[in-house]
Structure 1
Amino acid sequence: MTESPLLVVDDGPVRTMTLNRPEARNAIDLALATAIDEAITDYDKRPDLRVAILAANGPTFCAGMDLKAFLRGERPATGRGFAGLVEMPPDKPLIAAVDGPAVAGGFEIVLACDLIVASERAFFALPEVRRGLVAAGGGLLRLPARMPYHLAMEAALTGRRFPADEAAEHGLLNRLVPAGMALEGARELAAEVAACGPLAVAATKRIVRDSPRWPAAEAFDRQRELSEPVRSSADAAEGARAFAEKRDPVWTGK
């Protein structure tokens, strides 16, 4: 039996999705893109799941598009875009656990995540220009908002690779961990997110993600539309009650 290109494991409120094509450096073909799309769609629908991690088997996080599959006529994209992710990430938080190279589309997958934990042996690059191509999977759209403009432009125009410690120095990473510890670091971060109110987390992510595109005159009204239903929820009352009673809250997502 052929092993799945994506391994999905749920542990309480945390879903871990593991790219599982190490023999192909976890390059994205249509089967893997479809599996990612399906796992993300299911994750967003499941009220018991609050945070997801995207990890990878093998020494490479992801080498981008599978060129052999592309030459066979495959387009490794779904309705969510390349890799079943980059144009429509999940509504709930997604953490990248990067323990090796993430280049080309692999780096664009990482940039589509909300939080990034990388190990010291990881590195990142958008080398498309070196092949006469354009990094059209979101890298050019997202990187200038994550790093200083001129450094992002240098990375885009030269295709040079930069190591995880440099990425951390410029604020691209949430956590830099020792080699082999990216998944563990991501799980620790996921536990911190999962401990918070799920309705509040979902609304907060949407505000942070969408507000840069809101007209300034409408920003507070649009924020209010998302925050007020959370304020009046049972979870908000539970959070206040748990604080007063000096105990951990028990969230219901209602």
Structure 2
Amino acid sequence: MGGTEHLTVERVGATLVLTLNRPEVKNALSLPMLVGLWDGWVEADQDDAIRSVVLTGSGGTFCSGMDLKALADDGRLDGQQYRARLTADPDLHWKAMLRHHRPRKPVIAAVEGHCVAGGTEMLQGTDIRIAGESAVFGLYEVRRGLFPIGGSTVRLARQIPRTHALEMLLTGRPYSAAEAERIGLIGHVVPDGAAREKALEIAELINASGPLAVEAVKASVYETAELTEAAGLASELERGWPIFATSDAKEGARAFAEKRPADYRRA
């Protein structure tokens, strides 16, 4: 497992937990954090023992976006020792924030506290979202004379109703967890401090399912999102039919008949 001074990595069963770890500045983005995130997504994609990922933050907060104070001071993010990584891969920060990368494993966001600006943008790259009841969301960029270039002007209106997306984008106002759930930005609101626990609970359900089936289902949902219904249904068959021929599919049927947990082998 990797990790950096601003991003911790741990395994909880078959779940990889990535924790933004810069609580003194509400987990504002830094080069060490972005490098650690990208390495975490790569690890999740490449290691078949990992079946799900939980993305969360330390210190009772998720992410407050770009470090505006550091940018105002000298235009440079903390962790310049990682500059060579960004030079070698100029797209690294966008992949780390899930703008230019979609992990093949399900990603569950466990949000506490602030999840604003770049935090809300990164959230849109996750698949399932849980928040503590005091969590705060919002795209504050226009209030700072900035543009939410992490993908929100494209993704948000595809994930929630356009009227809500435009209000969030154009007003830059904060949203409570309750309102974020009501408009469909998140799926669950739990007591403060319980978001990670709920995320791991959902991850366990995913981990107990057939991994080939899980990954194919996730891929199909995203691949067909912008297709016509006819094209989407055709694409679904291409993704779905091969799953029925796998050993895992046969094992799932046997386990059901024998009333026991399935032992999936990714085969």
TM-score, normalization: structure 1? 0.93
The answer for the alignment partner of 2:34 in structure 1 is 33
What's the C-alpha RMSD, in Å, of the aligned pairs?
2.0
Moved more, 76-85 or 91-100: 76-85
For the Cα contact (< 8 Å) 1:8–1:39, is it kept in 2?
yes
The answer for the alignment partner of 2:231 in structure 1 is 218
- 1:78-117 alignment to 2 at 5 Å? 78-79=91-92, 81=94, 83-117=96-130
Q: Deviations over 1:154-192 (max 9, x none)?
A: 111100111001111222222110011111111111111
Query: 1:125 aligned to 119, 126, 138, which one?
Result: 138
For the Cα contact (< 8 Å) 1:118–1:173, is it kept in 2?
yes
Q: Secondary structure at the match of 1:53?
A: strand
Structure 2 residues not aligned, in runs of 5+: 78-82
Q: Secondary structure at the match of 2:224?
A: helix
The answer for the alignment partner of 1:208 in structure 2 is 221
Amino acid of the residue matched to residue 57 of structure 1? S
The 1-side partners of 2:133 and 2:50 are apart by 29
The answer for the alignment partner of 1:251 in structure 2 is 264
Q: Does residue 152 of structure 1 match 2:165?
A: yes
Amino acid of the residue matched to residue 235 of structure 2? R
Q: Secondary structure at the match of 1:212?
A: coil
The 2-side partners of 1:202 and 1:83 are apart by 20
C-alpha displacement at 1:84, in angstroms?
A: 4.2
The 1-side partners of 2:230 and 2:9 are apart by 43
Q: Deviations over 1:205-226 (max 9, x none)?
A: 0111120223444323322221
The 1-side partners of 2:103 and 2:170 are apart by 29
The 2-side partners of 1:60 and 1:44 are apart by 26
The 2-side partners of 1:122 and 1:73 are apart by 28
The answer for the alignment partner of 1:65 in structure 2 is 66
Moved more, 75-84 or 89-98: 75-84
Moved more, 46-55 or 3-12: 3-12
The answer for the alignment partner of 1:195 in structure 2 is 208
The 2-side partners of 1:30 and 1:161 are apart by 26
The answer for the alignment partner of 1:235 in structure 2 is 248
Query: 2:181 aligned to 165, 168, 171, which one?
Result: 168
The 1-side partners of 2:63 and 2:16 are apart by 19
Q: Secondary structure at the match of 1:154?
A: helix
Structure 1 residues not aligned, in runs of 5+: none
TM-score, normalization: structure 2? 0.89
For the Cα contact (< 8 Å) 2:137–2:174, is it kept in 1?
yes
For the Cα contact (< 8 Å) 1:95–1:114, is it kept in 2?
yes
